Amino acid sequence: MIAIEQNTPKQLQRLGAQRQLYATAKGILTAQIILSGPVAVLSAFLARAVPSTEGFVALWGFGALTCDVLWLGPWLDKRRKEAVHIQEAFDCDVLGLHWNDIKAGDRPDAELIKEQSDKYSKVAAKMPPLQNWYAPSVAELPLYIARLVCQRSNCWWDAKLRRRYAALVIAILAFICVLVLVISLGHNYTLKDFLLKVLAPLAPALSLGYRQVSEQINAASRLDDLKLHCQAVWDAALSGADERDITARSRELQDEIFESRRKSPLVFDCVFRRMRWSFENQMTYAADDRVAEAKRKISVLTQTPTGSQ
């Protein structure tokens, strides 16, 4: 069911809409970073170099803050929420789980999916393919076990991507700090000059970078916990636990995956594209390995005991 359903036009349309919404949200985040980083730094230097512009710089800073709070922030949150809900609708249909109204609320509107998927179709040729979102080999397993392979893949992929992203941000912050230190030493700045002319203008960018690292690592830690829970359900399934019990636990696990997606910060596409192929190969290998393990265990469980009549 999973291998076939995930590649139907309806589900591919959902994935396209989800990807387009995330792309919009990342564009908004880019605007926020530019406003709080390079623009803020340049404005601070301009105000010091040309004192007559201090009033305009202050007005610009207030306007940028107001724009972020009243427009960019809410717009980003709305787009991300819509993307998360569409991904949940995809997972529920593909993995054969019921939609949880209490956790997720209403299903995403069909009009929204159509609108966003149409936008995505204009750039789809330049983007990674949407087919085979989950490893095709899961088709060899009963649905209630195959579902766990896919849920574990979700947790593993997202956690590893976020840790790589956090490591990249740390490297960028370290480079900035070293560069700033070298520049400061070259100009023989006093401590006061360093604080006012260098550190103060860079403070918003450094603060943003720190928040990015902290949020990504926290999100990855949550996903690691979910992966451990998925392993526990997997062990129970391969030990012969009742299918209905495993399905109920998978639904609970899916609730937590949804919640993690809802809370997690964004990861820029440039990082995703760079890591995608190696991650996908690793994920597919792990999924195939789990499929082989499950087939062996199922064979043992269904084998007639020796000596029985």
Tens digit of pLDDT per residue, the chain (309 long)? 899 999 999 999 999 999 999 999 999 988 877 776 666 666 666 656 666 666 666 666 667 667 777 888 899 999 999 999 999 999 999 999 999 999 999 999 999 999 999 999 999 888 888 999 999 999 999 999 999 999 999 999 999 999 999 999 899 888 877 877 776 677 676 777 666 666 666 666 777 788 889 999 999 999 999 999 999 999 999 998 999 999 999 999 999 999 999 999 899 888 888 888 888 899 999 999 999 999 998 888 777 454 443
Helix (H) or strand (E) segment spanning residue 49: helix 38-49
Predicted structure pTM score = 0.84
Q: How many CA atoms lie within 13 A of 21 on its CB side?
A: 26
Encoding tokens for residue 271?
């990082």
Encoding tokens for residue 28?
């908004």
Distance between CA atoms of residues 209 and 216, nearest Å: 11
- Helices (DSSP H) in 135-199: which residue ranges? 143-186, 191-193
How far out from the chain centre does Cα 302 lie?
39
Contact 113, 14 (CB under 8 A): yes
Residues 6+ apart with CB under 8 A from 261: 84, 87, 88, 158
User: 133-151 in b/e burial notation, b at 16+ Cβ within 10 A?
Assistant: bbbbbbeebebbbbbbbbb
Distance between CA atoms of residues 134 and 156, nearest Å: 13
Distance between CA atoms of residues 275 and 227, nearest Å: 20
Distance between CA atoms of residues 94 and 147, nearest Å: 9
